[in-house]
Amino acid sequence: MANGIRDRVAIIGMGCSRFGERWSDNAEDLMLEAFSEALTDAGIERNKIEAAWLGVCLEENNVGKTAGPLAQGLRLPYIAATRVENACATGTEALRGAVYAVASGAYDIALALGVEKLKDTGYGGLPVRTRGVVADLWLPNASAPGAFAQLASAYQAKYGVSYDDLKRAMAHVSVKSHDNAVLNPKAHLRNKITIDDVLKAPTVAEPLGLYDCSGVSDGAACAIVTTPEIARELGKRDIVTVKSLQLAVSNGEEAQFSNWDGASVRTAEVAAAKAYREAGIADPREALDLIEVHDCFSITELVLMENLGLSDPGHAPFDILEGRYDCNGKIPCQVDGGLKCFGHPIGASGLRMVYEVYQQILGRAGERQLAKADIGLTQNLGGHPHQNVCAISIIGRLGA
C-alpha cells in the first residue's frame, strides 16, 4: 500500500533568478542564473546530478519541446532529462518528477528547473493559441480575468458578502503583496500601493481592477534534491525535506454539471486534503508557518484561504482584513510578494514559491525573514476555476 513520500527526499540546493522584463537575457541565461545559485547552495559538482526535469509551459516561446535546452544550457553530463508541462502547475510538476525519482530509489541526486520567457512575445497577457475545434467552440474568446471575475461574483452571492467588503479584502491582498515585495530584490514589482490605489484603478473585469491582477514576466527557479542520508553525508545539518506533493485535476463536473456553485476551487480542496494527510498535518491553521498560493488574481488568493482550510467558509474576507495573512499575522501569505509582484513566468512560478519557503526555513530571507518558519505550503492553480489543475507541496525541516 502506498505510504507517501514524507521526509524521504531532501532539498539540498535552490536557486531563483531575478524576475522581470529580462529583455537582454534569453531562457538559457535565466536557467543558468537559477542553476548557478542552486549548485553553489548544494555544494556539489554538476556531474553529481543524475537526472533532470525541465518545466516549460509555452514551449513555442523561446525554449522548445524537449529538455535539450536544459542539458545544453547547463552542460549537464549526458544524463536523463525530461521536459514536463502542466499549465500553471508546471514548476511544481518538474519538482514532482525529480522528487519521485529520488524517493523511488532510481537516482541519488536529481534536478528540477522551471523557466519561462514571456515578455518577448509582445503579448499583454499569457499567450493563447488555438487548441482545435472542440476547445474553440467550448470557450470562444475566454479570458482569465473574466473567468476569475465570475469566481468573485459567485462567492459574493453564495455568502452574502457586501460588494464593498469584498473589494476592500481583495485590495488588502494586493497591498500586502506589494508591501512584502519591497523587501525582495528578486521581485519584478517592488512599489508600495495603497487601498485607494486599488479601489480607484481601472476595471479589468468587474469586480477585478488593474491591481487585482498579477502580471507577466520572465524568470527561472530550480531545486536540487537527494535523500536525507546523502544530505547528511554532504555535510548538511539543517535539512529541509518534502513532506508532501499532491496534484488534483478537474474531471469535467464543474464545467458540465450543476452541482458546483462557482464559489470555490474544488481541486484545491481535494489536493489540500490529500497533502495534509500525506504530511501528517491534522490542523493546517496550527501547523503551517507560511504559505505561497496562486494569486493570479486577488480573489483567487481570498477563495483559496477557505479551500485550503485556513479560513472558515464565508470568513476569508474578514480574516484578510484583520491581518491573519499579513507578514506579521497568524499565517503569513506571499511573504516574497507572490505572483502579484513576481509576475507569472508559468514554468518557474511553482519552484519560485518553494524557493521562498526554503529560504525562510533556513533563515536566509533577509529583511522579510519570519520569526518562525519550520513548515510551509505552496499551491499552484492552472486553468480557470471551472476547469483546472491544482498542485500542492508542503516543505519543512526534517522531523517537523
Integer Cα distance of 141 and 353 in angstroms: 30
Integer Cα distance of 383 and 281 in angstroms: 27
Which of the residues 57, 88, 213, 390 is marked catalytic? 88
What are the grid coordinates assigned to 247, written together? 496534484
Q: Please give the DSSP secondary-structure letter assigned to residue 390.
A: E
For residue 347, give Cα distances in angstroms to 57, 60, 350.
Answer: 5, 13, 7
Write the burial class of residue 243 (CB in 10 Å: 0-12 exposed, 13-18 middle, 19+ buried): buried
Angle 315-308-138 from CA coordinates, rounded to 5°:
100
Catalytic status, residue 344: yes
Catalytic status, residue 88: yes
Q: Which residues of 156-182 are buried (b: 16+ CB within 10 A; e: fewer)?
A: beeeebeeeebbbbbbbbbbbbbbbbb
DSSP secondary structure, 339-389, as one string: HHHH---HHHHHHHHHHHHHHHHTT--GGG--S--SEEEEEEEEEETTEEE
CB-CB neighbours of 148 under 10 Å: 24
> Which residues are CB-neighbours of 119 under 8 A, at least 6 positions away?
21, 22, 23, 216, 217, 218
Q: Are 377 and 288 in contact (CB under 8 A)?
A: yes
End-to-end CA distance of the chain: 24
Angle 348-354-360 from CA coordinates, rounded to 5°:
135
H/E stretch holding 318: helix 316-321
What are the grid coordinates assigned to 303, written together? 477563495
Which of the residues 178, 294, 344, 386 is marked catalytic? 344
Cα dihedral sign, 266-272-273-274: positive
DSSP secondary structure, 24-62, as one string: T--HHHHHHHHHHHHHHHHT--GGG--EEEEE-S-TTTT
Residues found in the chain? 400
Q: Please give the DSSP secondary-structure letter assigned to residue 189.
A: -
Catalytic residues: 88, 344
